[in-house]
Structure 1
Amino acid sequence: MSSTKQHIIFDMDDTLIHCNKYFDLILADFFERMTNWFQSSNITTDDVRSKQMEIDIAGVNKLGFASANFPQSLIDTYRYFSQLHGRPPVLEEEEQLFQLGLSVYDQEVEAYPGMVETLNVLQHEGHHLHLYTGGETKIQKRKIEQMKLADYFEDRIYIRQHKNIDALEKILRTGDFQRSSTWMVGNSLRTDVIPALTARINTIYIKQKTEWHYNLVELKEEPDNILYTVPALTEVPQIIANHGILTPQRHS
């Protein structure tokens, strides 16, 4: 057990609780509707998926994690294929898609395996736990309340619409963080790992089996600071306990 108390910053969505699988369920419904509506044009699910992904990522890059971005990406994809194939858009269908997109935020919150056990161990060991999540305050607060995450993070909760190096740096500069004893734990290479490495704090990358395309970017060079890549949240406490004893696993 490590005697040094660490500051451990956790991402929330798809690190502590499920998120992407709900978007995938909504997208499956969307793809089915689109291939039915445009049946005479022979568009495929892959055609729709590729265009929606392109539009969705462009929206996130511009607006951050705004709740309206996802449903708007469904409508914009629909309008793209409507124009491409000469099928006039139908207002009722657009309204259906907007409500379909918004429904992703009403899904039940479900913890990843080992979430409670992991946070309990780290809290018991006296580490300072922080929660740093991207999205709109109302939506993220609902998840936090349902999962009772304030029991672990108290007032050390940071909700940001844009989750990047600038946002992380502001958190680090305004808090009582020693970077050598601070960790970022998250599933996104883009919004968790790369900003943390740039800020020169220790990093644990939770590599999920399936990942949102937006999160998948390459590390351009071998990091100088500590980076572990692990498949499960439950490995985090042992890494923290062994900090300074074991040789870290680098991302490859």
Structure 2
Amino acid sequence: MTDSELTTIGFDADDTLWQNEQFYRFTEREFAALLSDHGDHDTVTARLLEAERRNLGLYGFGIKGFTLSMIETAIEVTDNAVPAEVIGRILAIGRELLAHPVETLPGAAEVLSELSGRFKLVLVTKGDLFDQERKLAQSGLGELFQAVEIVSDKKPSTYESVFRRHGDGAARSMMVGNSLRSDVIPAIEAGAWGIYVPHDLTWSLEHAEAPLHAPRFREIARLAELPALLDALGHPS
């Protein structure tokens, strides 16, 4: 095995293997409607985004933190006068988010099935532990992974650790995902390949400039293109 031979591929979950952001967008619209007497949609959702940004270090990523940020925003925009029934509805729509059915993205199962016999596949996702475990179980994709890592954040050190534990180090690994900020850039900084698969909806806090000049950066339009990319890079097996 050469130093550059690819042995391990990490996959993001939300909006890479299954739909996720669209459910948040639906929830944001209902949340803004609940508070329409205190601001238009753009104003309310901008305040919500500010709260989410402030709270990431406290609550982390996921629906529970998002729900708490909605409650905080409701209190702020109403000057501490938010009715109890509005708080109750916010809690209810947070629970609905935690129970939404899993909708896998086109090509996800086929690509994972094709690659599972050729490479070590590792799911690397961040968010609420229970929610991510639920979605993985409902997706039917769990048996295709050799390992699953649900992490609090994705940094270069995260990928160094994950690919050392479950592979042959970052240099022989690849990370595939829809977030430049979380899936691609830190994986490249760790020494791995970073493959960007854009999604129509990506949370604004996950946006970043594409590392176009990084030798190990590639972009594909859809997940189904990954096997052909691997072949083109000289990693057929």
State the TM-score, normalizing by the size of structure 2. Answer: 0.89
State whether structure 2 residue 225 is matched by structure 1 residue 235.
yes
- Is the 8 Å Cα contact of residues 121 and 144 (structure 2) preserved in structure 1? yes
RMSD: 1.9
The CA distance in 1 between the partners of 2:10 and 2:208, in whole Å, is 21
2:203 matched residue in structure 1? 212
State whether structure 2 residue 27 is matched by structure 1 residue 26.
yes
Counterpart AA for 1:16: L
Which of residues 177, 181, 205 is equivalent to 1:190? 181
2:100 matched residue in structure 1? 107
State whether structure 2 residue 170 is matched by structure 1 residue 174.
no
The CA distance in 2 between the partners of 1:214 and 1:160, in whole Å, is 17
2:119 matched residue in structure 1? 127
The CA distance in 2 between the partners of 1:64 and 1:148, in whole Å, is 26
The CA distance in 2 between the partners of 1:66 and 1:49, in whole Å, is 17
The CA distance in 1 between the partners of 2:57 and 2:198, in whole Å, is 22
State whether structure 2 residue 46 is matched by structure 1 residue 50.
yes
Alpha-carbon distance change, 223 to 178 in structure 1, aligned in 2, over 3 angstroms: farther
The SS at the match of 2:150 is strand
State whether structure 2 residue 152 is matched by structure 1 residue 152.
no
The SS at the match of 1:18 is coil
The CA distance in 1 between the partners of 2:183 and 2:143, in whole Å, is 23
State whether structure 2 residue 2 is matched by structure 1 residue 6.
no
Which of residues 191, 194, 203 is equivalent to 1:200? 191
Structure 1 residue 190: Cα displacement = 1.4
Return 5+ residue gaps in structure 2 as ranges: none
The CA distance in 2 between the partners of 1:152 and 1:175, in whole Å, is 14
Structure 1 residue 217: Cα displacement = 1.9
Q: How many residues align?
A: 231
- For residues 111-144 of structure 1, the C-alpha deviation after alignment (integer angstroms, 9 at most, x for no partner) is 00011111122124x2111111111221111111
Which of residues 121, 133, 136 is equivalent to 1:141? 133
Q: Greater Rg, structure 1 or structure 2?
A: 1
- Is the 8 Å Cα contact of residues 60 and 66 (structure 1) preserved in structure 2? no
- Is the 8 Å Cα contact of residues 127 and 150 (structure 2) preserved in structure 1? yes
Counterpart AA for 1:174: R
Return 5+ residue gaps in structure 1 as ranges: 246-252
State the TM-score, normalizing by the size of structure 1. Answer: 0.84
